Structure 1
Amino acid sequence: MKWEHAIKDYQLYLKIERGLSDNSIENYTRDVKKLLVYLNDNDITISPIVISSETIKQFVYEIAKELNARSQSRIISGLRSFFSYLVFEDYRKDNPLELIEAPKIGRKLPDTLSEEEIDTLISAIDLSKPEGERNRAMLETLYGCGLRVSELINLKISDLFFEEGFIKVTGKGDKQRFVPIVDSTQKYITIYRNQIRNHMAIQNGFEDTLFLNRRGKQLTRAMIFTIVKQLAEHVGLKKKISPHIFRHSFATHLLQNDADLRSIQLMLGHESITTTEVYVHVDKSHLTKVVEKYHPRK
C-alpha cells in the first residue's frame, strides 16, 4: 500500500465513520504528511504497512529539535490515530506508536473574561451604525449560548425556537444539539432582525442565515475575529482575545454559579466529559463549594 492511498482511505474513514469536518480531517492527516515528507527528504522508501517503530522514533527525534512539547505531542497523537486505523482495517498487526511516549505537557487552561469585562466590551459597540445591533446580538449569543464561531455564523432563523427557549446548534461533525437561550439574548436578536435585517437586500441562498454582512451574505470567521479584536483595542483590554473566549467565559461563569459539569458538557456539545473538566481547573473554587455543600462533615 502506498502512502497516498493509505492517507486517502484514512480521510474517507474520518469523514464517513467518524463524521469529522473537513478542517478536522485536514488536521489529522497533516501529521501523517509530515512523516511522509521526512521519509522523502531522507530517501527512505518504506510502506505504511511495514514502517517500524525505530524509523518513526527517528522522525520524532528530528521534529523535537524544532517543535515545542505541545506540537510534538499533537503530531505523535495524530500518527497514533492513523496507525490505529491501519490496524483496525487489518493492514497492520501492530501500532508502531504504541511504545513511543509523547512529551509531558501541562494542560493549557482557556483564557476567560470576567462578567465586567464582557459588559465593557459589549457596551463599547457603536449602536449608531447598522452593524452595531448585529454585533451586539452576535456577542450576546456567543456568550449567552456558549457557541463556537462556526456555529454562530451558520446559525439559521429556522434554528430559533424562542417560544420554547432554545436554539438548535449544528456543531462539529454536523452534530446537532439544543441550547437554552435566555430572554435578554432573544431580545437583542429580535431587535437586530426587526430593525436591521428586515431592511437588507439579502442574497439568494442566505435567506435563512441569521447574521449577515452588509452585502446580505453569511459572515466569515475572520470577520468575527476582527470585530472582537477591534472592540478589545477600543476599550484597552490587554488580554489575548478571540471570539472563543466568550465560549470559555460562558462555561466558567456557569460553573462559578454551581452548574453541574454534565449540563455544561451538553450545552457546549463536548463528546467527552474530560474536555469539559478543564473548566474545573480554571475555577477551583467550585470544588470547595461542592465539598462545603455536600460533604457530611462540612
Structure 2
Amino acid sequence: MNWEQAIQEYRNYLKLERGLSKNTLQNYQRDVEKLLRFLEDGAAPPSPLTIDQEYLSGFIYELGKSVAPRTQARVISGLNSFFNYLIFEQYRKDNPMELIESPKLGRKLPDTLSVDEIDRLIRAIDLSKREGERNRAMLETLYGCGLRVSELIELRISDLFFEEDFIRVTGKGNKQRFVPIGTVNQKYINLYRYQVRVHQDIQKGHEDILFLNRRGKGLSRAMIFTIIRNLSEKIGLQKTISPHTFRHSFATHLLENGADLRAIQQMLGHESITTTEIYMHVDRSHLSKVLEKYHPRR
C-alpha cells in the first residue's frame, strides 16, 4: 500500500463510517499530506505500513519550527487518527505516534466584541449595494444564533422554521441541532430573501442554499472572512476578528446576562460542557452578582 492509496481509503472511512463533514475530512487529509511532503524531500521514503517513530519524530520536530503549538497538536492528533485507522483495518499492528507527546497548550480565551462594536460593524454595511442586505442578514445570523462559519454558508431555506422561531443547523460531524432565532434576525433574513435573492439567477444545485454570491452559488468561507475584515477596517476596529468572533460574542453576552451554561452548550452544539465552560473565564464581573442574588448567605 502506498501513501495515495492509504489516504484515499482513510478519507472514504472518515466519510462513510464516521460521517464527518467536508471541512473536517479536508483537515484530517491535510495532516497526512503534510507528513507525505516531508517524507518526499528525503531519499526512499517509507510506506505508511513501515514508517516508524524516528521518521515521525523528525517530522514533528521540523513542523514545530514553522507552526504554532496549537497547530502542531492538531497535526499530531490527526496522524494518531490515521495510524489508528490502519490498525483498525489490520494494515499495521502498532501506532508509531503512540510515544510522541503533544505540546502543552494553555487554554486561550476567545476574543469578543461588545454589543456596540457589533452594532457599528453592521451599521457600516453599505445597503445601497446589491450584497448589502445579504451581508447584514449574515452578520445578524452569525451573532444572533452563534453559528460557525461553515454552518452559516451551508444554511438552507428548508432549515428555516420561522413560525416556530427556530433554525436547523448542521454542525460538526453532520450533527443537526435546532437553534432559536429572534424576530429581528428573521426580519433581516426575510428582507434579503424576498427583496434581493428572488431576483438572482440561481445555479442548479444551489436553489436551497440561503446565502448566495452574485453568481448564484453558495459563498465560500474565505468570502465571509473578507467581508468581516473589510468592515472591521472601515470602522477602524482595533481588534483582529473573524466570523468565529461573533460566535464567541454570542455565548459571552448570553452568559453575562444570566443564561444557563447548559442552554448555551446546546445552542453552540458543543458535545462537552467543558468546551462551553471557557466562556466562564472571559468576564467574571457577573459572577459576584450571581453569588449576591442566589447564595443563601448573600
Q: Please, what TM-score do these two structures have when normalized by structure 1?
A: 0.88
Q: 1:88/1:280 Cα in 2 relative to 1: closer, same or farther (>3 Å)?
A: farther
Q: What CA distance in whole angstroms lies between the structure 2 residues aligned with 1:38 and 1:215? A: 39
The structural deviation recorded for 1:34 is 2.7
1:260 aligns with 2:267: no
- The one-letter amino acid paired with 1:39 is L
Q: 1:94/1:245 Cα in 2 relative to 1: closer, same or farther (>3 Å)?
A: same
The structural deviation recorded for 1:116 is 0.8
Q: Tell me what 1:93 maps to.
A: 93
- The one-letter amino acid paired with 1:114 is S
The structural deviation recorded for 1:229 is 1.9
Q: 1:69/1:182 Cα in 2 relative to 1: closer, same or farther (>3 Å)?
A: same
Residue-by-residue CA offset, 1:43-69 (whole Å, 9 max, x unaligned): 254343343323322332333344332
Q: Tell me what 1:245 maps to.
A: 245
Q: Tell me what 2:137 maps to.
A: 137
* SS of aligned partner of 2:131: helix
The structural deviation recorded for 1:115 is 0.7
Q: Indicate conservation of the 8 Å contact 1:146/1:268, yes or no.
A: yes
* SS of aligned partner of 2:67: coil
Q: Tell me what 1:105 maps to.
A: 105
RMSD after superposition: 2.5
The structural deviation recorded for 1:291 is 5.0
Q: Indicate conservation of the 8 Å contact 1:280/1:286, yes or no.
A: no
Q: 1:119/1:66 Cα in 2 relative to 1: closer, same or farther (>3 Å)?
A: closer
Q: What CA distance in whole angstroms lies between the structure 2 residues aligned with 1:290 and 1:95? A: 48
Identity of aligned residues (%): 69
Q: What CA distance in whole angstroms lies between the structure 2 residues aligned with 1:105 and 1:200? A: 47
Q: What CA distance in whole angstroms lies between the structure 1 residues aligned with 2:16 and 2:157? A: 28
* SS of aligned partner of 1:102: coil
Q: What CA distance in whole angstroms lies between the structure 1 residues aligned with 2:94 and 2:295? A: 47
Residue-by-residue CA offset, 1:79-133 (whole Å, 9 max, x unaligned): 1221222223333333222222112222232221111100111122223334322
Q: What CA distance in whole angstroms lies between the structure 1 residues aligned with 2:12 and 2:293? A: 49
1:62-211 equivalences under 5 Å are 62-211=62-211
- The one-letter amino acid paired with 2:230 is Q
Q: Tell me what 2:282 maps to.
A: 282
* SS of aligned partner of 1:277: helix
Q: Tell me what 1:26 maps to.
A: 26
Unaligned runs of 5+ in 1: none
Q: Tell me what 2:272 maps to.
A: 272
